[in-house]
């Protein structure tokens, strides 16, 4: 009888532990909501590449170099949101240099939690061959949120559990409190760590009366190694406006744009992004450009990051009144920090465009610096 009671007690304890862990793990990173979000970043990449293709006789095998600058920012509040993305791509090959620049920006005003009006601009330029600018207005539904603070809170919890500084997983409410501290605008990193330690000590789950030096260093490590912002949300918007092709010849046209975007964070170290855009000239509905991108990135142990991306583009009489082209690109890469914010990336890429005799493969080595 005592043996049976002991077995039942053990099973009951295991059930309670499993239930508590499931309850704690039920919190999704995307459950975090902040009254205001601000994310921005500027990075510069330099690369050295080897190309193979797209001709069957391999006459275009070449070495190449490039310099790429990327800027992105998102500021979101209850009433409005602003987003700006810009990219400049300078590439040099054996037969010369090429410069491409693309920028997109939008300003959203919200009626309620999700409905908004939007004004947007776009710029697409290729040095010496093309320049197009568009201005559009419209409306849509959806919202994006910066959920980086909750992702960091969960990583801090996991790190302290691994060290033995934390006796049990934190309650969802506590994780949200930690995220509120990390998401607050104003405090320095040192102040945030002090506030985090005080909140953790209030839970009575810390080994000892106070969080030790190892625990403080673990929190500092998590905050320093957070390689990228985590975004959650979605939106769908439709806009109409004017597109101006300035080069190679001046041409004005009315345009309609339908755009959908999705961002998800499956776990604190992963990010999924999906975008789809359709542009149509309203006076000539057979002229259109369709684009779609799916990207997945993940932080790996020891400071490594992995990223995979697939992009497809259909240009039907949009760039040229005579041609319809399909462009596909798939890439995968690994990045590691060399020192500070400077990283080294190895990226493999495959491209195919209508008219190519074969797929173009490239292997690039990037030196990347995150300026902020």
Terminal-residue alpha carbon distance, the chain: 66
Looking at residue 6, its pLDDT comes to 39
Say what the pLDDT of residue 285 is: 85
Give the angle subtended at the CA of 278 by the CAs of 138 and 87, to the nearest 5°: 90
Q: Does domain 47-110+120-139+230-370 have CATH number 2.40.160?
A: yes
134: its two tokens:
């568009």
CB atoms within 10 A of CB 268: 21
pLDDT number for residue 22: 37
What is residue 10's predicted lDDT score, i.e. its pLDDT?
35
Given a contact cutoff of 8 angstroms between Cβ atoms, the answer to whether 182 and 149 are in contact is yes
**Tokens coding 124:** 């697409």
pTM for the structure as a whole: 0.81
Q: Are strands 115-126 and 130-146 parallel, antiparallel or unpaired?
A: antiparallel
CB-neighbour burial class of residue 120 (10 A; exposed 0-12, middle 13-18, buried 19+): buried
Residues of each domain in the chain carrying CATH 2.40.160: 47-110+120-139+230-370
Q: State the pLDDT at residue 93.
A: 61
- Cβ neighbours of residue 344 under 8 Å, at least 6 residues apart? 335, 336, 338, 365, 366, 367, 368
In b/e form, how buried is each residue of 190-217, taking b as 16+ CB within 10 angstroms?
Answer: eebbebbbeebeeeebbeeeebbeebbe
pLDDT computed for residue 26 by the predictor: 64
Q: What is the mean pLDDT of each run of 10 residues along the chain (372 residues)?
A: 37 37 61 76 74 61 72 76 73 67 86 87 78 90 90 92 90 92 84 91 85 88 76 93 80 89 93 94 88 94 90 87 89 85 87 89 82 62
Bridge partners (DSSP) of residue 96 are: 93
pLDDT at 53: 65
Classify 339 as helix, strand or coil: strand
Look at residues 298, 315, 316, 319 and name the one whose alpha carbon lies nearest to residue 307. 298
What pLDDT, on a 0 to 100 scale, did the predictor assign at position 9? 38
């Amino acid at each position: 009888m005592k043996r049976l009671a002991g077995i039942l007690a053990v099973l009951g304890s295991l059930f309670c532990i499993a239930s508590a862990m499931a309850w704690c793990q039920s919190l999704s990173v995307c459950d975090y909501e902040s009254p205001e979000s601000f994310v921005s970043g500027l990075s510069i990449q330099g690369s050295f590449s080897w190309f193979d293709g797209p001709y069957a006789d391999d006459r275009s095998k070449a070495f190449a170099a490039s310099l790429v600058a990327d800027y992105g920012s998102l500021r979101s509040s209850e009433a409005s949101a602003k987003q700006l993305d810009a990219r400049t791509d300078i590439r040099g090959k054996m037969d010369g240099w090429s410069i491409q620049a693309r920028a997109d920006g939008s300003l959203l005003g919200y009626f309620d939690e999700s409905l908004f009006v939007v004004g947007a601009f776009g710029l697409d330029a290729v040095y010496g061959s093309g320049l197009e600018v568009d201005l559009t207005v419209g409306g849509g539904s959806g919202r994006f949120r910066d959920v980086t603070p909750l992702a960091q809170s969960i990583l801090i919890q996991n790190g302290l559990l691994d060290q033995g500084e934390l006796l049990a997983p934190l309650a969802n409410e506590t994780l949200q409190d930690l995220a509120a501290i990390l998401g607050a605008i104003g405090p320095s990193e040192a102040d945030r760590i002090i506030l985090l330690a005080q909140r953790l000590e209030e839970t009575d789950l810390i080994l000892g009366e106070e969080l030790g030096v190892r625990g403080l260093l673990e929190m500092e490590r998590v905050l320093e190694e957070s390689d990228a912002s985590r975004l959650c949300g979605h939106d769908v918007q439709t806009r109409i406006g004017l597109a101006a092709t300035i080069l190679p010849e001046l041409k004005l046209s009315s345009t309609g744009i339908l755009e959908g975007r999705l961002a998800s964070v499956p776990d604190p170290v992963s990010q999924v992004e999906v975008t789809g855009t359709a542009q149509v000239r309203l006076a000539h509905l057979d002229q259109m450009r369709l684009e779609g991108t799916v990207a997945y990135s993940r932080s790996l142990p020891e400071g490594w990051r992995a990223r995979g991306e697939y992009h497809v583009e259909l240009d039907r009489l949009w760039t040229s009144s005579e041609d319809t082209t399909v462009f596909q690109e798939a890439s995968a890469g690994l990045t590691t920090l060399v020192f500070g914010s400077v990283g080294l990336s190895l990226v493999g890429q495959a491209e195919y465009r209508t008219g190519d005799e074969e797929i173009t493969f490239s292997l690039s080595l990037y030196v990347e610096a995150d300026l902020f």
